[in-house]
A and B are shown apart, each in its own frame.
Chain A
């Protein structure tokens, strides 16, 4: 068929290739070019080369903001990665045991993954509402404090972390569950003959054999928390007082939404963000893969 088709196979690839190159590949690389300009995003405004001004501005002039955003990103990323995966692996383990109601729990915990950031974010916005929100009322009943968790700099980031984990737990859980179901049952039978209890079976059989799922889940969580900011955008927009502004949120706000829009400068932040993701992904990848190989 291929030999008689002439130019047709090429014509078939062309449309996908053109949109893909023009709107996906070129933009991915062009961020580095824009980071060397004073691009303002205003239609028709001239764009000038400014060399590494944006980078010196970022590392020298805006150093406090950079360190602040790095700190927030580190807390957000670490907390979400550790707790989301830790809880997910335990829940998947419970679901993989013969407990009733497994399907109901699975379906309901996965639901937020389908509902998306706006619905999830605003749902919790209502939950955290300082007047009638469930969370606020519960805290008042338990501790006698009336607080606006999302509106207080000291707590906003942790409220966002909670929602982020709530929204994505189902995804990690299903990846772990699929990984566990792929473990052949004779491994556990052999373990039983050797006298392993349920906990040691989990610790010494399930966890090591789950290594590929752990690698994927941890990498996705780290990359997702450093680059993604959908829930933060809906819940706090990085505030209050920059308390929940991660690097991704900062890029977005600087490029499109601060009073003084600076997409050129934002590109420089995006390059720093990309470098961090790249280095962490490489280190984690080799570390986790090596562990997989050892096991």
Chain B
């Protein structure tokens, strides 16, 4: 079970006072390995940024040098040519509605399950828990969406994401169990309605958990590529990940514009990562750690 303290521990920086195994003679070797690793991770990033500022001619004849002249215009060119404002807006819509929906559906279901307010709450818990292990049935999903006329629609794609509520319920149930039940009793005495209690008392108390779960879901939605390629074939409703792939398919020869489009797509995530890194890393790996 993931609890508040466990997450706090995971989020907190490793303590400097801990005695760690010492490496003495091999320290130099250690630094060499880390330096090599840094190069392998930084070179692609730096190279793509450089290419995004080159002329196509320079990329073909001398890509191993600094961009000259610096083609800032690649960015507006790629943005306009690829219709990136449509993709960008779509991604914002998908990310916002999936996160808001998942957190609402998740909390509403997790509270009665955690408190045992429904008969067989354990069965519901195990049912949702098993969802984490179920194989993805993309072909039946395609069939069902088509039957309901939701194939190639925004709402169909959002509903698919809402159905992945298993992991959020699992995490939120654990957190709700750590909230004392005395609070529930007091609210019941005051005649506070059930729904209002969940929305006005429980949800604010869950804020740390909700923000980590929301952050992880947001990153997954923003990056999803298989889903949009299958369920959102129309360009006008594609999110930015699929838009980038579409742009690449249509401009294969123009590497500098592709590089600019890559930077455009990646930059919101890089910004988010810079500010919320600890929570993202803890949130993404804690699922594996408690498994």
Contacts and interface: CB of A to CB of B under 8 A. Distances in A.
Interface stretch (B74-82, B182-190, B203-211): B182-190
B69 interface: no
Nearest to B137: A27
Interface string A203-216: 00110000001001
A245 to B, nearest CB: 15
A81 to B, nearest CB: 15
Given A137-B63, A234-B245, A13 B141 contact: no
Report the interface size class on chain A.
Answer: 35 or more
Contacts of A76: none
Contacts of A31: 135, 137, 139-140
B165 interface: yes
Contacts of A233: 225-226, 229
Contacts of A110: 277, 281
A contacts with B: majority SS: helix
B259 to A, nearest CB: 6
Contacts of A94: 23, 30, 33-34
A2 B41 contact: no
A227 B245 contact: no
B37 A16 contact: no
B212 interface: no
Nearest to A199: B26
A8 B160 CA distance: 25
Nearest to B14: A181
Contacts of B20: 96-98, 185, 188
A123 interface: yes
Interface stretch (A56-64, A65-73, A127-135, A286-294): A127-135
Contact of A27 (B116, B140, B281): B140
9 contacts: A12-B194, A17-B109, A24-B134, A25-B134, A97-B22, A99-B30, A113-B284, A175-B288, A255-B139
